Structure 1
Amino acid sequence: MRSFTQKLALAAALIALPAMALVPAAPAVAKSLYEQPKYAAILVDAKTGEVLYSRRPDAARHPASITKVMTLYLTFEALEQGELTLRDKITFSARAAGQAPSKLPTRKGDTITVEQAIRALTVKSANDVAVALAEKLGVTEAAFAEKMTEKARYLGMKNTRFVNASGLPNPNHSTTARDIAILSLATLQHFPQYYKYYSEPEFTYANQVMTSHNRLLKNMPGADGIKTGYTAAAGFTLAASAQRDGKRLIAVVLGGPSTMARDQNVQALLEAGFDVMKSRAVGMRTTVASYMSEPPEVPGFELPPGIEQGSTDAASPRR
């Protein structure tokens, strides 16, 4: 049995499936996004940490609202350590309530429970709630963001820097597809009892029913998380996990050109990954890359300096 530390090391390592030709390559059934300049992706076996597919996995990217997976990771850690309970109250400061959408309809002095806050992040991706949680746990959002980056380093996320709790635009806020996969795997391994919140399709607050931005929960059998995001500079982002036939895979796509293209690409990677796992079980040797009809990887777009425009998940165009 591998330890969790060994699994994280495997996930962080550059592991590539060797080119194998014992059987003909699978037909191209998945639409590739490799030509998109901001695109970066990785597909990981959650049990072993093996990287089944990657495209620019270590290129710097804006994570957008996937940032909130780390905000939630630290929240789950505080719950586990007894620093919080699900019934504790969180009060909105003027700064928290004043965050840009996506958000809840809150004002200074309003309160919600920690459990409501978790659901508001996993389903609604509420930026005001992310800041309120950060202030609850770190006194200031800036101090909390430093804790986020420290935790990222501890988990092996070597190329991530967080400067806020929400993923709202900031030129110094960056990560990689590989690092987000490591964070997703750590969440699954460390906090299975709280991971269920990522599977919830809706959340009700102030008599408003809010539907999850993660459409794979409804459209793909076995999908049970994790988090979407969007800003103009980041493009459309998604960290997703799905289970099938006793296997769990994690896919991360950053820099998608539209909601639909991102979702289709993530689902295609997961489906191809499950097909590869089935093929292996009967002695066939193939690769996820063979499904994508892509040329060999070449150096791509790197995160530019400057001020990012746009807001996470808010009014994401449906294309």
Structure 2
Amino acid sequence: MRQALSGIVSKSAWSFRTLATVTMAVSFVLAAASASQAARDAAIVIDANTGKTLYASNANARRYPASLTKMMTLYLTFEALAKGKITKSTQVRFSANAAAEPPTKLGVRKGSSVSVETAILSMVTKSANDSSTALAELLGGSESNFAQMMTAKARSLGMNGTVFRNANGLPNPGQFTTARDMAMLGIALREHYPQYYGYFSQRSFMYGRQRINGHNRLLGRIKGVDGIKTGYTRMSGFNLVSSVAVDGRRMVAVVMGGSSGASRDNQMAKLITAYLPKASRRGGGDLIAKADNDSPVQALAKVMLPKHDAPTPDIRPQAQEVVVASAAPALIEAPTPKKPVKVVAAEPAAIPFEQAYAEPEPAHVDPVNTASLPSGWVVQIASSPSKSEAEAVLDKTSRQARAVLADASGFTMPFSKGGVTYFRARFSGFDNQTAAQKACKALKKKRIECFAIEQ
């Protein structure tokens, strides 16, 4: 009997320990999941008549946009339509790159085409990734060029916390935004292109014999909701931008990082119910300055290029040059400045556009003995918050200008600004100022911006 009781007690103790261990493990998992979810949550509600923020939670925190990205792709599409560069019936050809995009997608085969309007409808309803890429290639010549145009347009609209790397929102660690920026874009779409804004209220459309239904479940469910866009990736969670207009009151709300589509929609519904009555019926004029009088390249220049002239080479510059990615897409206008553009920016050093808004590396000064760095006259071509990117620019420039830089050596030079470490990309090996200036002049003939400096 004593042995039996001992066995029962032993088994009970084992069971208790096992249960406690399992319970603790589950608690850790739930806590980690909760922390991860909290790190993605963000929301904002803005009165679209006055611009007043009615509610905000992590509104300026960096978040992944997912398919909210397509709002900017559509903004630039609407801009091209308004300027007559394309029409709704213009054919959008699907390259191998566009056709290969993962779902959700329209499923157009490589080499086939659809109209601009069909591409728009597929994006606002099905959130078609392939249509987004195809439109990007039509408007920008390549998706990478179009992403530059998107970021430039974001800056011109005041969206300073946003960087685009692609046209559809598929996962990319370098592509990010904020809830506030997405609200600004939502307002800009309605204010600047009311003639096309109705597309966002489209709940379905016919593609051949197939009816394609939309993802925005609040259309028709909540009074006054007339768009705009849903989004989801594992990195971002469930995102939603909604525009509401009832009895003269207008507002735009953003929810990001939802744990499910249903919870995201319910949170949005609660925000609309709570804050729409607080919105004003009186407007104060346009809230987002319209910036579509410039061509995409001119907008890019305004973002990247400062207003002052470049210093002469015999003066030690307190600035760095910019290497702007060359672009010759089909529908991009060439800028026509009255004076030659001087590509110089104040510290922190300006950097190649494709790297300009790359996520900064940890603020850590490279352990380089400054005395061991090359001295004398050098040629600087760029700077970047990423050492590897600065080195990549050096390598690319070396290959583009082998003859000019045959006797030069590339190196990076770290400096800290605002708590962030940047890396200047420079070439050394020039005997004097004249030699450095001559090399820089030759580089500029190859469309590689630079300046000579004595270090």
Q: For 2:233 and 2:67, how far apart are their aligned partners in 1?
A: 8
Query: Which of the residues 139, 158, 162 maps onto 1:156?
Result: 158
Using a 3 Å threshold, how does the CA distance of structure 1 residues 86 and 254 change in structure 2: closer, same or farther? same
Alignment check: 8 A CA contact 1:36 1:257 kept: no
RMSD over aligned CA atoms reads: 2.1
What fraction of aligned residue pairs are identical, expressed as a percent? 50
CA distance in 2, matches of 1:270, 1:260: 15
Contact 1:36 1:256 in 2 (8 A): no
Say if 1:237 and 1:254, in contact at 8 Å, map to a contact too. Answer: yes
Structure 2 match to 1:77: 79
Aligned residues: 251
- Aligned counterpart for 2:100 among listed residues 98, 101, 115: 98
Match of 1:250 in 2: 252
Which residue of 195, 198, 201 maps to 1:196?
A: 198
User: TM-score if structure 2 supplies the norm length?
Assistant: 0.53
What does residue 9 of structure 1 align with? none
Determine if contact 1:96/1:131 at 8 Å carries over to the other structure: yes
Instruction: Pick which of 215-224 and 159-168 moved more.
Output: 215-224
Alignment counterpart, residue 88 of structure 2, candidates 86, 89, 92 = 86
- Distance in 1 (alpha carbons) for counterparts of 2:232 and 2:220: 19
Partner of 1:122: 124
Q: Return the offset for 1:37.
A: 2.9
Structure-2 separation of matches of 1:255 and 1:156: 23
Render the CA deviation track for 1:19-46: whole Å, top value 9, x for unaligned: xxxxxxxxxxxxxxxx733100000011
Q: Please list every run of 5 or more consecutive structure 2 residues that lacks an aligned counterpart in the other structure.
A: 1-36, 283-358, 362-455
For 1:47, give the aligned amino acid.
N
In structure 1, the partner of 2:44 is 42
Alignment partners' CA distance in 2, 1:135 and 1:249: 33
Q: TM-score, normalised by structure 1?
A: 0.76
Higher relative contact order structure (alpha carbons within 8 Å, sequence separation ≥ 6):
1
Greater Rg by CA: 2
The corresponding residue for 1:180 is 182
- Does the CA contact (< 8 Å) of 2:63 and 2:236 recur in 1? yes
> Structure 1, unaligned stretches of length 5 or more?
1-34, 282-302, 306-319
CA–CA distance in structure 2, aligned partners of residues 189 and 204 of structure 1? 28
User: Which amino acid letter does the alignment assign opposite residue 252 of structure 2?
Assistant: I
Q: Distance in 1 between matches of 2:251 and 2:265?
A: 15
Is 1:276 aligned with 2:252? no
Deviation at 1:276, TM superposition (A): 2.4
Partner amino acid, structure 2, of 1:207: R
Residue aligning to 2:144: 142
- Please tell me the residue identity of whatever aligns with 1:145: A
CA contact (8 A) 2:104 2:126 kept: yes
Runs of 4+ more than 6 Å apart: none
Contact 2:62 2:178 in 1 (8 A): yes
Contact 2:227 2:243 in 1 (8 A): yes
Instruction: Describe the SS at the equivalent of 2:40.
Output: coil
Deviations along 1:162-181, one digit per CA (max 9) or x if unpaired, are 00000000000000000001
Write the letter of the residue equivalent to 1:36: A
The Cα shift of 1:82 comes to 0.9
Are the counterparts in 2 of residues 59 and 176 from structure 1 also a CA contact under 8 Å? yes
How far, CA to CA, are the matches of 1:246 and 1:273 in structure 2? Answer: 14
